[in-house]
């Protein structure tokens, strides 16, 4: 049996799987199920906590007392990192793409409430220098006697990927309980770690369902390269001979819209309609775009050969509040 790294236990697991009866009927395609990873915990809600369970365990094992990470101003990952740090009596430092002048709402409000030290940087700095900036903060803190541990954007690296390796194990168990097999598993892709963990586990555990990522930024080629890189990092933690081709990575490109964290009217309308239809809220940045993309692909017949599809709801509820004005005229 494959031995993966150890983790701490923070998330409320396993998360349940529900059938989206009304959406499935409306689209007339495959049966659509949803895995409620938006319910992994209140302050840590979403997919990031699963990855952080592995990242933070590694940090603790190395004797670290401070977590440094980065993300957008409404980063779910940064909020979850701040919450876990507070829970475990660690210090958190967040490098956020944005300005201190922005309204303190949603995840940013929670970051402050949870006691995180926040460093704002420009979009250009974030794109080109975020890791360098985090290393500078790490050096400064070491001079003060702290022992920092850097977690990359989204905890999307080799160790963080194991969060969704474990999720795939969970899904396989739930398939047996529900008496269904998922021909496809669909997830929003923003930094690649969730997708890489699912694909790694599906290959090792011989699950035949195809993993689909709906990219919410960048493009297909970027994510194929990024996910391939993370997969190789994860394999380095395992004592096995395993390799992946980029052809095994399936990205449903074309749903980035106006860009990361920017919304089109049709996406906002979908989020509103879906909430009224199924009583489930998806967010404009990740899950809203991904679920919108999935439904559009079903309409095009892309999943005509599939009987059952699983969409993983990776959270983002707090990120919807700063954009509430966008929904006013729908």
pLDDT confidence bin for 328, thresholds 50/70/90: confident
pLDDT confidence bin for 295, thresholds 50/70/90: very high
**145 and 118 both lie in a single domain:** yes
Say if residue 1's pLDDT is above 80. no
Distance from C-alpha of 166 to C-alpha of 169, rounded to nearest angstrom: 5
Segment 128-135 shows an average pLDDT of 98
Segment 28-43 shows an average pLDDT of 97
Q: Are 22 and 130 in contact (CB under 8 A)?
A: no
Q: Which residues pair with 310 in a beta bridge?
A: 33, 185
Task: Please indicate, yes or no, if residue 284 is contained in any of the structural domains.
Answer: yes
Task: Please indicate, yes or no, if residue 130 is contained in any of the structural domains.
Answer: yes
Say if residue 91's pLDDT is above 90. yes
Give the Cα-Cα-Cα angle 168, 169, 170 (nearest 5 degrees).
Answer: 85
Domain boundary among 103, 135, 155: 155
Q: What is the pLDDT of residues 238-268, one digit of tens each?
A: 989 999 999 999 999 999 999 999 999 999 9
Segment 156-185 shows an average pLDDT of 98
Q: Calculate the dihedral angle through the C-alpha atoms of 200, 37, 251, 150, rounding to the nearest 10 degrees.
A: -70
Task: Please indicate, yes or no, if residue 233 is contained in any of the structural domains.
Answer: yes
Q: In terms of residue numbers, what domain contains 299?
A: 17-45+157-327
- Taking Cα atoms as reference points, which of 303, 284, 281, 282 lies closest to residue 212? 303
**What's the total number of domains in the chain?**
2
Residue 40 confidence (pLDDT): 98
Task: Please indicate, yes or no, if residue 236 is contained in any of the structural domains.
Answer: yes
Q: What is the pLDDT of residues 99-121, one digit of tens each?
A: 999 899 999 999 999 999 999 99
**70 and 21 both lie in a single domain:** no
Domain boundary among 139, 155, 171: 155
Residue 77 confidence (pLDDT): 98
Q: What is the pLDDT of residues 200-211, one digit of tens each?
A: 999 999 999 999
Tokens 């031995």, residue?
Answer: 3
Q: Are 107 and 74 in contact (CB under 8 A)?
A: yes
Residue 127 confidence (pLDDT): 96
Say if residue 318's pLDDT is above 80. yes
Active site residues: 75
Say if residue 330's pLDDT is above 90. no
Domain boundary among 155, 172, 189: 155
Three-state SS at 315: coil
Three-state SS at 166: helix
What lies within 8 Å, CB to CB, of 63 at 6+ separation is 147
**162 and 285 both lie in a single domain:** yes
This model's pTM is above 0.95 = yes
Residue 329 confidence (pLDDT): 79
Task: Please indicate, yes or no, if residue 4 is contained in any of the structural domains.
Answer: no
Q: Are 217 and 260 in contact (CB under 8 A)?
A: yes
Tokens 């956020």, residue?
Answer: 96
* Mean pLDDT over the full length of the chain: 97
Q: What does R_g of the chain's alpha carbons equal in angstroms? A: 19
């Amino acid at each position: 049996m494959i031995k993966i790294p150890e983790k701490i236990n923070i998330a409320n697991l396993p998360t349940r799987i529900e059938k989206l009866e009304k959406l499935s009927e409306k689209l007339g395609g495959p049966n659509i199920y949803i895995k409620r990873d938006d319910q992994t915990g209140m302050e840590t809600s979403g997919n990031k906590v699963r990855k952080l369970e592995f990242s933070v365990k590694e940090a603790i094992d190395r004797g670290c007392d401070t977590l440094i990470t980065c993300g957008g101003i409404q980063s779910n990952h940064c909020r979850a990192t701040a919450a876990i740090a507070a829970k475990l009596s660690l210090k958190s430092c967040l490098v956020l793409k944005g300005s201190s002048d922005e309204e303190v709402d949603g995840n940013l409000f929670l970051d402050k409430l949870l006691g995180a030290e926040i460093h704002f940087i420009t979009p250009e700095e974030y794109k080109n220098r975020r890791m360098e900036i985090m290393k500078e903060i790490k050096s400064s803190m070491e001079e003060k006697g702290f022992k920092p541990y850097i977690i990359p954007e989204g905890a999307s690296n080799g160790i963080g990927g194991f969060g969704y390796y474990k999720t795939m194990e969970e899904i396989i168990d739930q398939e047996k309980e529900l008496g269904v097999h998922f021909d496809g598993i669909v997830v929003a892709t923003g930094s690649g770690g969730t997708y890489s963990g699912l694909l790694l586990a599906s290959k090792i555990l011989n699950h035949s369902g195809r993993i689909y990522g709906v990219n919410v930024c960048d493009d297909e080629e970027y994510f194929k390269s990024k996910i391939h890189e993370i997969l190789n990092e994860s394999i380095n933690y395992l004592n096995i001979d395993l390799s992946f081709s980029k052809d095994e990575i399936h990205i449903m490109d074309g749903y980035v819209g106006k860009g990361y964290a920017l919304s089109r009217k049709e996406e906002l309308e979908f989020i509103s309609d879906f909430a009224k239809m199924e009583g489930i809220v998806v967010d404009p940045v990740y899950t809203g775009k991904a679920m919108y993309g999935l439904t559009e692909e079903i309409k095009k017949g892309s999943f005509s050969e599939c009987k059952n599809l699983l969409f993983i709801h990776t959270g983002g509820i707090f990120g919807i509040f700063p954009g509430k004005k966008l929904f006013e005229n729908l």
